[in-house]
Structure 1
């Protein structure tokens, strides 16, 4: 038997097996959930008792019963002759990638669009850029959406000679023509249907008043405006939904999220996307079965998935940077004296004291050391921002000494050179004195030149004592 015939029959065998698996899963869903909950209630797997074994046996028996029930239905549905004849008589070329009915199910005259796009690594989620598990959708007022989708899947299969099944119809391969004739199927009609399903039908493009539309004014001899009709790429929408659902993995019979809830470790962990909005496309059979079945008028993927997710599309929240990076001078750009006023208060009290003894002098030195420590914390926070931050164009006016001090990109110079340290110490001492004079203008005016020189000497001494911390 030739490769093309074998491909058709193997495809239908695969569809038959998938149909049985889905029917079995549907039949045993409640029993499976009951069994899983029972398993989860036993944290110590060695204590699993006969009750669990009994439930497992019931589950296996239910699965076997469901399979026996689904087998004859699947055998009839995917019998080669039956399936091909059904395609020949019932299949309608409703294959689309952007069904207009997603805007409104009442839309019935808009053109069917098949567009796969071209792949570009530009970072956008759009047609052509996403590796899709399902490449097309089926839309229209048709009860045979599933069989059309199956036909499209069959026609897209690539055989060993690197030809797709559709290519065999295009080339009118004798073996395929004879095979169809033996099945009692008119080959030419079947071929035309395959071509229309796979490539779409050539027809004049048309939109609909219910489709979202944007008008662009243009200045051409033929028209005054250009009309853009915006339609939904349903494959992208449901690809997102299925990938998010894929986060909901199971490990040893339980949802992986339960491991976190039970404070258990798992090497792979799990992903999740918060703040999702679910949009449903119908009603469950328990609520309104008649309304649920009308979902078929939108698209095949709509019925299969029943819902989609809307991911938040809002501007990112930009948090205010806690540390301001200096563009010209650390002591001016990153240190606001007013924020240090409470730290200068004890120093001001000691300086204005009429006493001049060892305790006052020691108190002044301790206040200065505390101020130095507070400023160094800011400097270390700037360093922690990242290696090489000062090398961008915005920070080119920052003095070299401050770059060495604040950017770990200059770590080697910081450890081996000494000139930068002298410049920083001097600038640090001047900032303390300038800030004190700014914050306490009234009292500073009452200080004599001698007292001011003494304060400066204490500052320089305190800064010099802490030079190792600057590195």
Structure 2
């Protein structure tokens, strides 16, 4: 038997099996749901196991009866002569990638066209960029949509030489001509049908008043315009839905989300998309659902809308310094309470051991807060300060804040003196900035004293800087 005949027979065998599986699943839906409920609630007790075995036996018997009931229909529907006769006599070419009926099921006679797009790695979800499980849809007569889709699927099957089955019709293969004529079908008409289904029909494009439309003027001095009719790429729509539904894969016969509900662990886990909105396309009426499109029926008339809202802008907890850590990464407002305490102590105009200890402890607390910010930056990413954006940062601060300089941080000490000096300057500046016109104007001696206390507190924490 030739490769072409083998491909056709295998295709019809797979379609027969798929049809039978769907019929059996539909027929046994209630018993399968009941069994799954028992399985989910079972606690592995002897009584539960006995009931579970009984329900499993009932389910198996129901499956056997359903197979016996629908096997003759499946065999007849996908018998090779019968299938080709049904296709040639009933199928109407209405394969499309953008069904107009998704805008409104009442749309009639709008153009059906095929657009596969061109792949480009630009990050956009668009026709051509997505790896689609199904590349086309069928929209029109619900009674023949399945036949047309099956014919398209058959024609795109790849042969061993890399060509597709549609190519044997384009090349008028002697073998396919003999096969088609042998089952009493006129070859030329069947070939035209195949070409129309696979490549679409070449006719003047037509829109419809129920389709969303946008008019663009072509020339300012004329009345010419360009008309854009907005239609839906149903393959992308349902590819999104099927991928999201695929997150809830089965584990031991149950949806994996059931484990989460019961607080059970599974190493594979599952992904979840929040904020989805279900939308329906004639999903309450089967006939109209089928008239919308073939894929619409396969997905029971339901698709998902992903949330499309602006992201919330939050302050970054870590701000990497471009030129100076003290100016770029520290928000003075965060230290407001500490500087208020420092302001109150300085304002007492009393110089005794308790006041000096209070000032020293306040400065030490401020230093601890700053060190926390420094350690968060240090934990960010090794080598971050060597990027072009941060090359203006002083070397001492790179050694302090970037673990790429860990060895220098441990073996050298000059950088600590530079950081301590910058630290003292920042404390004075931050205090004056916090209180602006009401801050206590410090004399040079007082500034020197405060800076000395700050540097003393910093020096006592030299090991923490490392």
Q: Comparing 85-94 with 313-322, which one deviates more in the overlay?
A: 313-322
Is 1:105 aligned to residue 128 of structure 2? no
Please give the TM-score of this superposition, normalised by the length of structure 1.
0.90
- Post-superposition shift, 1:348? 4.4
Correspondence for 2:459: 464
Contact 1:180–1:186 at 8 Å: present in 2 too? yes
The answer for the alignment partner of 1:326 in structure 2 is 321
Name which of structure 1's ranges 366-375 and 333-342 shifts more when overlaid on structure 2.
333-342
Q: 1:300 aligns with which of 294, 302, 311?
A: 294
Structure 1 residues 46 and 413, CA gap change in structure 2 (3 angstroms): farther
Aligned match of 1:288: none
The answer to whether the Cα contact below 8 Å between 1:140 and 1:297 also exists between their aligned partners in 2 is: yes
Question: Which of 140-149 and 69-78 deviates more?
Answer: 140-149
- 1:221, CA displacement in angstroms? 11
Q: Deviations over 1:65-123 (max 9, x none)?
A: 00101011111111111111111111111111111111112221221111112222222
Structure 1 residue 174 displacement after superposition: 2.4
Following the alignment from structure 1 to structure 2, what is the Cα–Cα distance between the partners of residues 58 and 69?
16
193-202 or 425-434, which deviates more? 425-434
Q: 1:14 Cα deviation (Å)?
A: 1.5
- Distance in 1 between residues matched to 2:433 and 2:98, nearest whole Å: 68
Secondary structure (helix, strand or coil) at the match of 1:202 reads coil
SS in 1 for 2:184: coil
Q: 1:171 to 1:329 in 2, by over 3 A?
A: closer
Shift of 1:236: 1.0
Aligned to 1:278: 278
Pairs within 5 Å for 1:69-148: 69-148=69-148
RMSD of aligned alpha carbons: 2.6
Quote the Cα distance in structure 2 between the aligned partners of 1:439 and 1:171: 84
Give the 3-state SS of the residue equivalent to 2:279 in structure 1: strand
| Among candidates 366, 369, 375, match of residue 370 of structure 2 | 375
Distance 1:422 1:151, change over 3 A: same
Contact 2:100–2:232 (8 Å) recurs in 1: yes
**Matches of 2:381 and 2:230, distance apart in 1:** 44
Q: What is the distance in 2 between the residues matched to 1:439 and 1:120?
A: 53
Unaligned runs of 5+ in 2: none
The CA distance in 2 between the partners of 1:222 and 1:337, in whole Å, is 62
Q: Distance in 1 between matches of 2:165 and 2:335?
A: 78
Cα distance in 1 for residues equivalent to 2:58 and 2:143: 36
Contact 1:352 1:443 in 2 (8 A): no
The offset of 1:9, in angstroms, is: 2.1
Residues 215, 228 of structure 1: 8 Å contact kept: yes
> Secondary structure of the equivalent of 1:49?
helix
C-alpha contact (below 8 Å) 1:96/1:136 kept by paired residues:
yes
User: Contact 2:95–2:136 at 8 Å: present in 1 too?
Assistant: yes
Structure 1 pair 442–252 and aligned structure 2 pair: CA distance change class (3 A) = closer
TM-score by length of 2: 0.91
Equivalent residue of 1:309, what SS? Answer: strand
Structure-1 separation of matches of 2:334 and 2:142: 72
Aligned ranges 1:178-193 → 2 under 5 Å: 178-193=178-193
Tell me which of 412, 415, 418 is aligned to 2:413: 418
Matched, 1:401 2:396: yes
Q: Distance in 2 between matches of 1:436 and 1:88?
A: 88
- Give the 5 Å matches for 1:257-272: 257-272=257-272
1:435 CA drift (Å): 3.6
Structure 1: runs of 5+ lacking an equivalent: 285-290
The structural deviation recorded for 1:443 is 7.5
Could you tell me which residue of structure 1 aligns to residue 230 of structure 2? 230
Give, in whole Å, the separation in 2 of the partners of 1:255 and 1:161. Answer: 41
The aligned counterpart of 1:287 is none
Determine if contact 2:138/2:293 at 8 Å carries over to the other structure: yes
The aligned length equals 464
Contact 2:20 2:74 in 1 (8 A): yes
Which among 310, 313, 327 is matched to residue 315 of structure 1?
A: 310
